[in-house]
Amino acid sequence: MKRTVLLLTVCFALKTWSAALAQEGGLTLPDQPDDQLSLMLPSKPVDSEPQQLLQVFVGPSKLCCAGKIPIAGAYHLDGAMLIFDPAFDFIAGQTYTVQSHGENAYLTEFVIAADDALPPPEVIAIYPSGSALPENTLRLYIQFSTPMMPHRSDEFIRLLNADGVADTAAFMSFTQELWNADRTQLTLLMDPGRIKRGVAQNTELGPALLEGGAYVIVIDGGWPGAIGDQNTTRFEKPFTVSHPLRSLPSVDLWDIDAPQTASVAPLTITFDRPFDQQQVRSLITVRNTDGHPIRGTIVLTDHEQTWQFTPDTPWSEGNVQIVVDTKLEDVAGNNFKDLLDHIYAAETTAVDQAQITIDVTLNP
Amino acid sequence: MLNLKTTGLASLLCAAAFTSGAFAQDAALDLKFAGALEFSDTGTLFVGDNYNGAIYAFDMSDGAAPTQVALVNIGDIDVKIADTLGVPKSALAINDMAVHPITAEIYISVSRIGNFKSAPAIMKVAQDASISMLDLASVPFEVQALDHYPDQETTFRPRGLGQGEPLIRDIAKGEITLSSLAIMDMEYHEGELFVAGVAFDNFLSTLRRMSYPFDGSQSAANVEMYHISHDQFETRAPIRAMSIQKVDGKTQLVAAYTCSPIVLIDLEEIVDGAKISARTLMDYGNGQPLDLVSYSAQGEEMLFLTSNSRSPHVIPVSSLNDAQTYTKGDLPEGGKSDMMPIMPVGDTGKAVMFDGMSLQIDNLGDALFVSLTRDMYTGSLNMDSNFNGFPNRLHNLVAEFDFPQYWEDE
């Protein structure tokens, strides 16, 4: 997987012996993020420490290397081969510059090909995934194929109406964007001031989404990934707007399909509405009658309206419990205790316990 | 001229200080997050891991003291750390900073994002201002898991201000997990480590104490305090920064909370299962405390308190003796903001100049502070060393002294 580079080096200053060295010995560059670098050393003695003979820097050669710090790693000698093992894996798509032979600097650029490890940045999903979104949809999740450059969402994400006109006040603008830890998922909130009836933005601008309308969320091309120099290509999610969700969620509105005991058939819940795709994966758990969690895999289908739990091992009892955390929100931010928009008096079906337990009898 | 082959072994030993491919993969050291840092008096480095719910103690006691502590100034230190870790600046987060009490080396805990993984690293800035990555895999360590470590699912509950519509940040906070506050600050004191943060399933403000070397036992006590500007007792929001001091003849924890009470807690009160009522001494004005550093200036013990929203505050430790304490009913009812005549309450400190905002600060020897300072104008993050008697970058301002004519007239 390694390729040996013999004559790709750019010579900035050289002594005769070191020029010969680079061409004879050769530098082996990494092909994969976890590869090492190696440099064949001359047979004659050299008056430098290994660290001086082979250094790797972040960035292109034109910005290298005065005043820059080489990346951390370990040096080993294997015969006449000097090997550099970086402290962390190289990042695919990032340009690095190798400086070989100390003061007589040969600069060699390399990039770990993005197709080996890091796909180009692109939008891979937007949640809610349905083609019809409730008028008061609160939270959108945009999933990317790679870690993304932060603080650019304002520039690249737009909501267009059917005439192609952008609504520049549709989304909340945060000083701190809501990324997951590896910056592959951005949480985007519709401005709740537009959703909540009677508050200033709602009165002045109206809701961003209107029932019966057609809209497109556009993520423009050109959004750079966190690493490397690749950009997104344009992504569009067209959708229509359905009736707002103005009632509290209730487990009474769910259809529960019990599997057969002793099987690994899934336990299925069909919701009356789409739930928050992130919360619904963690806030509904399956337990045995002692209250111990049962391990398994959750799959969401039908645009987050069907939840399927497949146990890791066959169902061992005739009864199980589905435990629902009442903080679970539908896509409009309504949970079992409270509606996001309080214009209506509190509904009598609101619950005040932290969890709702549903007893399920498996089929014999 | 040295022969490379004969120097190979020495070089490898030398290079060992940089090694770390093993760092992230070594099963024996499963550090997932390098957060809060604290040194013992002899150079044990404590690292708070909020992802694992554990504290790691690395034995770094074998360094020598410099003959004289040097000022360390590094421009764009975030870029230089990112360079060392092989990533652009945008893939780096800085979590904490602490200075080795003997060697005066400066340690910075960071998170490095790359190829879908967030990895911890600890950087060392030597007295000659060189930056390197600490090879944690080569340092002997002990680990102490936290009891009552909270779940990592629960997020902050968004709230509006009074009956008003929710503000943007009220909603944003609803996306952050509470367990990210599990370890906020650590203080080593006479063979024990004191740890502030949130714990238990209901995320209560908790003070822990554990002896070091770790013996597996630890105590966890909930802390309640009266919050002057909120006019209520609070049990959840954790201590942000703390320092152990002799106040009223007793060894006490001086603790700083958000918006912004300063409270005292007698160390004797921190016993397992206790519900501590902290004594609130002051509220110097709204903001989020970042660091609380104790040092000597003008012949007395001082506390230097930084905030994300205010100039640093200098509080003489002696001013906390016999201080009035405040509880519900002592002051007019209701919330109190900076502009109200009653504010600040009980403040015995002074706001002092600091050019730029300090993200992290610690003592560097007896006479200096070292700070990671955000420059107002360029946004760059610089490591600066300031004299602690007058800890600022006054020379960066434009004043009468910058006019050449001033010196001609002199």
Cβ contact A310:A299 at 8 Å: yes
Contacting residues of A for B117, CB less than 8 Å apart:
182
Q: How far apart are CA B125 and CA A271, in angstroms?
A: 56
Which of helix, strand or coil describes residue B173? helix
Choose the CATH number for A3-116 among 1.10.357, 3.30.420, 2.40.50, 2.60.40: 2.60.40
- pTM (2 decimals)? 0.64
Cβ separation B4–A96 shorter than 8 A: no
Cβ separation B1–A47 shorter than 8 A: yes
Q: Which residues are CB-contacts of A115 (< 8 A; sequence separation ≥ 6)?
A: none
> Range of B275's domain?
214-352
Amino acid type, B123: M
Mean pLDDT taken over chain A: 84
Diameter of chain B by CA atoms?
Answer: 79
- The tokens describing A353, both together, are 């316990």
Amino acid type, B266: D
Cβ contact B356:B373 at 8 Å: yes
Q: How far apart are CA B213 and CA B193, in angstroms?
A: 9
The CATH number of the structural domain formed by A123-242 is 2.60.40.1220
B201 is a domain residue: no
B318 is a domain residue: yes
Average pLDDT over residues B192-207: 92
> Distance from CA of residue B29 to its chain's centroid?
23
Cβ separation A89–B153 shorter than 8 A: no
Q: Which has the minimum average pLDDT: A100-114, A165-179, A233-247, B396-410?
A: A100-114
Number of domains present in the structure of chain B: 1
Interface pTM (ipTM) of the complex? 0.70
> Distance from CA of residue A96 to its chain's centroid?
24
A344 confidence band (pLDDT: 50, 70, 90): low
A3 confidence band (pLDDT: 50, 70, 90): very low
**Cα separations in angstroms, A104 against A59, B114, B210:** 19, 31, 54
Contacting residues of B for A187, CB less than 8 Å apart:
175
> What is the DSSP code (8-state) at residue B404?
H
Span B121-157, pLDDT tens digits: 999 999 999 999 999 989 999 999 999 998 888 877 7
B236 is a domain residue: yes
- Cα of A182 to nearest chain B Cα, Å: 6
pLDDT recorded at residue B178: 82
Q: How far apart are CA B34 and CA B44, in angstroms?
A: 15
Cβ separation B14–A283 shorter than 8 A: no
Diameter of chain A by CA atoms?
Answer: 88
B121 is a domain residue: no
Cβ contact A113:A95 at 8 Å: no
- The tokens describing A1, both together, are 């997987």
Q: How far apart are CA A22 and CA A13, in angstroms?
A: 13
Q: Which has the minimum average pLDDT: A343-347, B4-8, B105-109?
A: B4-8
- The tokens describing A71, both together, are 């990346």
Torsion from C-alpha of B49, B143, B82, B395, nearest 10 degrees: 80
A337 confidence band (pLDDT: 50, 70, 90): confident
Percent of chain B with pLDDT over 90: 71
Span A271-291, pLDDT tens digits: 999 999 989 998 999 999 888
- The tokens describing A361, both together, are 């009898």
Amino acid type, B217: S
Dihedral sign from CA coordinates of B40, B124, B387, B374:
negative
Q: How far apart are CA A286 and CA A362, in angstroms?
A: 13
B172 confidence band (pLDDT: 50, 70, 90): low
Cβ contact A142:A186 at 8 Å: yes
Cβ separation B83–A87 shorter than 8 A: no
- The tokens describing A278, both together, are 């992130």
Span A14-55, pLDDT tens digits: 333 333 334 334 789 998 888 999 988 876 656 677 778 899
Residue A103 has a CB neighbour count (10 Å cut-off) of 11
pLDDT of residue A301 exceeding 50, the answer is yes
User: Who among A46, A77, A199 is closest to B165 (CB)?
Assistant: A199
Tell the residue number behind the tokens 């993304």, with chain if given.
A148
Choose the CATH number for A251-361 among 2.60.40.1220, 3.90.79.10, 1.10.20.10, 3.30.9.10: 2.60.40.1220
Amino acid type, A237: K
A322 confidence band (pLDDT: 50, 70, 90): very high
B290 is a domain residue: yes
Contacting residues of A for B24, CB less than 8 Å apart:
88
Which of helix, strand or coil describes residue B15? helix
Bond into A121 cis (ω within 30): no
Burial class (CB in 10 A: 0-12, 13-18, 19+), A290: exposed
User: Who among A71, A187, A200 is closest to B86 (CB)?
Assistant: A71
pLDDT recorded at residue B173: 62
B410 confidence band (pLDDT: 50, 70, 90): confident
User: Secondary structure of B312-329 in the HEC alphabet?
Assistant: CEEEEHHHHCCCCCECCC
Cβ separation B88–A70 shorter than 8 A: no
pLDDT recorded at residue B373: 97
B165 confidence band (pLDDT: 50, 70, 90): low
Which of helix, strand or coil describes residue B125? strand
Q: How many CB pairs under 8 A join A and B?
A: 150
Cβ separation B8–A77 shorter than 8 A: yes
Contacting residues of A for B179, CB less than 8 Å apart:
none
Contacting residues of A for B2, CB less than 8 Å apart:
45, 47
Cβ separation B90–A226 shorter than 8 A: yes
B5 confidence band (pLDDT: 50, 70, 90): very low
**Cα separations in angstroms, B361 against B117, B247, B249, B369, B399:** 28, 23, 28, 7, 27
Contacting residues of A for B76, CB less than 8 Å apart:
none
Q: How far apart are CA A6 and CA A26, in angstroms?
A: 5
pLDDT recorded at residue B171: 65
Q: Which has the minimum average pLDDT: A93-97, A200-204, B266-270?
A: A200-204
Which of helix, strand or coil describes residue A2? coil
Span B275-327, pLDDT tens digits: 999 999 999 999 999 999 999 998 999 999 999 999 999 999 999 999 999 99
Query: Pick from B201, B158, B154, B205: which is nearest to B178 by CA?
Result: B154
B185 confidence band (pLDDT: 50, 70, 90): very high
Mean pLDDT taken over chain B: 88
The domain spans of chain A are 3-116, 123-242, 251-361
pLDDT recorded at residue A349: 64
- The tokens describing B278, both together, are 């902290």
pLDDT recorded at residue A177: 82
Ordered DSSP codes for A193-236: HHHSTTSHHHHHH--SS-TT-EEEEEE-TTPBBSSSS-BPPPEE
Cβ contact B134:B16 at 8 Å: no
Dihedral sign from CA coordinates of A339, A345, A347, A350:
positive
Torsion from C-alpha of B361, B365, B368, B369, nearest 10 degrees: 0
Q: Locate the chain B residue with the closest alpha carbon to A197.
A: B165
Average pLDDT over residues A54-72: 90
Dihedral sign from CA coordinates of B226, B54, A281, A361:
negative
Count how many Cα atoms sit within 13 Å of the Cα of residue B221 in the half-sphere of its side chain.
21
Span A142-190, pLDDT tens digits: 999 988 988 888 889 999 999 999 988 888 876 678 888 888 999 998 8
Cβ separation A74–B116 shorter than 8 A: no
pLDDT of residue A230 exceeding 50, the answer is yes
Contacts 24+ apart (CB under 8 A), B365-371: B365/B69, B365/B104, B366/B69, B366/B295, B366/B296, B367/B69, B368/B69, B368/B71, B369/B293, B369/B295, B369/B304, B370/B72, B370/B97, B370/B99, B370/B106
Mode of pairing for the β-strands spanning A132-134 and A235-242: parallel
Cβ contact A58:B88 at 8 Å: yes
B338 is a domain residue: yes
A102 confidence band (pLDDT: 50, 70, 90): very low
